[in-house]
Structure 1
Amino acid sequence: METPTFPQESTPPPTEAETFAAMIDAVRMFEGFSRWAVACRAEAIDRARLWTEATDLSVPTTGGPRWSPRVAGNRVLVTELACALRISERAAENLVAESQALVHDLPATRKALQDGRIGYRHAQVLIDHTNTLPPAGVAAVEEAVLPRAESLTVPKLDRATRDLRERLHPESITERHTKSVADRHVETCPANDGMAYLNAFLPAPEVTGIVNRLRDIAEQLKGEPGEERTRTQLMADAFTDLLLDGTTIAANASDSTATGVAVEDRSTPRIDAPIGGGIRPRVLVTVPVLTLLGRSEEPGTLEGYGPIDADTARRIAARAPSFTRILTHPETGAVLSVGRDRYAVPKDLRTWLRVRDETCRFPGCNRSAAGADVDHVTDWQYGGGTDYGNLVHLCRPHHRVKHHTAWSSRSASGGRVRWLSPSGHEYETQPATQVHPSAHKRLQVQGSATPIPDDPPF
């Protein structure tokens, strides 16, 4: 007798909503993994911190008094983390401080992060708002805010925590603001397409006054006949004009209001004098010689920034008095001129090194070579020569790290420097510009029988 067969029950294909839900669930799952990982990273970093604080990592040095074990340990840890993780030393310092706070001051926050209930940015909000509170205040903020953190976005959590911090802080906001004003500063950040950001950390009233003035200027200019720039462009142009060729008023022509914004006293005369008149910064711009002659559109290089378009490079090289023109050979890359009217490698070794390095040569450091020390890779007292192959720029902090800790370096071909960290890891830094000091004669362009001209126009 033949065994009867029954139709197999088929599984219906997932709906579009179910497919999309599965994708979102996968994202949440991997996000949970990353949150667990950063919580574990915090513990690992804090263990390293405790070890460096308990170990004397300073070394004998001829570069001044020996660092204390605590200072040497901190510098070794920060530089090691920065190199290992390919992050800035400021970011590494923040990571060490945040890890210490999560492990010792905010254990419930670290547990919530490890369980995936909050993200690292949520944890950073609690760290930022509690890092100056006494222990009782830290515990109170964590207890009150952490349950809400699981359902709030980072900006909303920040607002919810700010008021509570103000009520619990032992110092008045006036006292804290006075201390913060001492940290005011201006910094730059390169952007794409020949642009850059100029960031200023200033008291809020002054920032408000600056923005309001720029807005008023833009509104005034907007009404001028033929003005086609947008309000945003006008504010940016006014900002630039005021800083480069602006005016100022006498010291007694301003008054400090209750909000801290400087306002003009109309009863006193205004002094329309250029700010810093006659003072021009020295800026290096490297221009391929074919670009300068109009035979190529290869970008130039602005010191501390990077590539700039050929037209801007030609304009700066031909006219701008505050820029030092550096010409390079189109084939060899050899430096032909550094602000001089002849095409030979300059005798000023410091200028040559500045062109080659551009920044501090410690791994990951971007501080400009313009303000850095020129250091012997192999110390002079140990036979190191004073020549381009043994000289590099080191900013003052990293110069001290080299002489006060077990970080060491040695030269390699092509201007490279190989660094050995106290933990035994190796890192290598490359020169920013490949320049060749052996070119001491006039060079011709692509076989042309006519030497490169010494004189403008360019």
Structure 2
Amino acid sequence: MAEDLPATRAALAEGRISYRHAQAIVQQSWSIPVEGLAAFEQALLPSAEHLTVAKLKHKARLLRERLHPETITARRARSITDRTSGVTPEYDGMATLYLTTGAELVQAIFHRANDLAASLQSPDETRTLTQVRTDVLSDLLIHGVTPTGVGTGVKATVQVTVPVLTLLGHSEEPGYLEGYGPIDPDTARDLASKAPSITRLLTHPETGVILSVGRDRYKTPKAMRRFLRLRDETCRFPGCNRPARGAELDHSHDWGLLGETAHDNLAHLCKPNHALKTQTRWSVAQQPGGILTWTSPTGREFITEPATILPTVLPTGPPKAGPPPVGPPTAAASDLPDDPPF
């Protein structure tokens, strides 16, 4: 901080960021060459003043990939040779099993275990979701399935966003893995090639992605839910990192108070925080770009940013002939399940 990140040191000294925020900035900057540190710090530091440490790390990863002079493809090729696994003994008869490999594999493993664990929960289940997920992973690794047969034929799923020119092989822009961040274009193309279905999001007026149904309906259309899940990635309450895939969609301006079912009036909230927003004096206002400004019962404001900035220009006019315009993303993912209206 004294030599390479002076603005971070100044912000820490002035109390605008915490020690853990400064630690996160330093750790995320280690792989960036010295000549790129100033731009990285300048772009990241303003967000450090209102983001939690976990959210700051996520944003720092995105910035690092964008500003790093070496391609992510070259760094992935070098790093994947260091994949490893092992066991660390712990206290009281416990041990930790660790696995370090490609982000897409780790995310798929975790999502499969988490979905199976959620399917096993019931009113009679005394274990927490974390405990059930840990037991499921143990059963799958030792027996292939759980003792009751859960897991047979269940496949892991991931959601990856791929810029259309990267998908076509005309660009080396990184893809984006839900729950992780940027991934190298070769891995993104490989995941897209194996996807059971492709969903195009905001790539062309032909897509028909719905961004608003106004007051015509309360339930959020599937295409809009997919867009919002990609945008939010996690619960949007301050400090919460529960994944959006298991959260509820909340109308920032309540439906009962004439709020619309639209992309700029919806955000993911986990069940506990959805109840907190509904039943207490917490309030939220949604700003352009999916930014949420929360106000606590004491009047203090908190800002939460979306994980992914997506264009939100509504399609106008008839579809045009020819290829789609350059730049916007293409998403490869299996269909999202129909969930209850919230």
Give the TM-score normalised by structure 2.
0.48
Q: Relative contact order: is structure 1 or structure 2 higher (C-alpha 8 Å, sep ≥ 6)?
A: 2
User: Which protein shows a greater Rg?
Assistant: 1
Give the TM-score normalised by structure 1.
0.37
Structure that is richer in helix per residue:
1
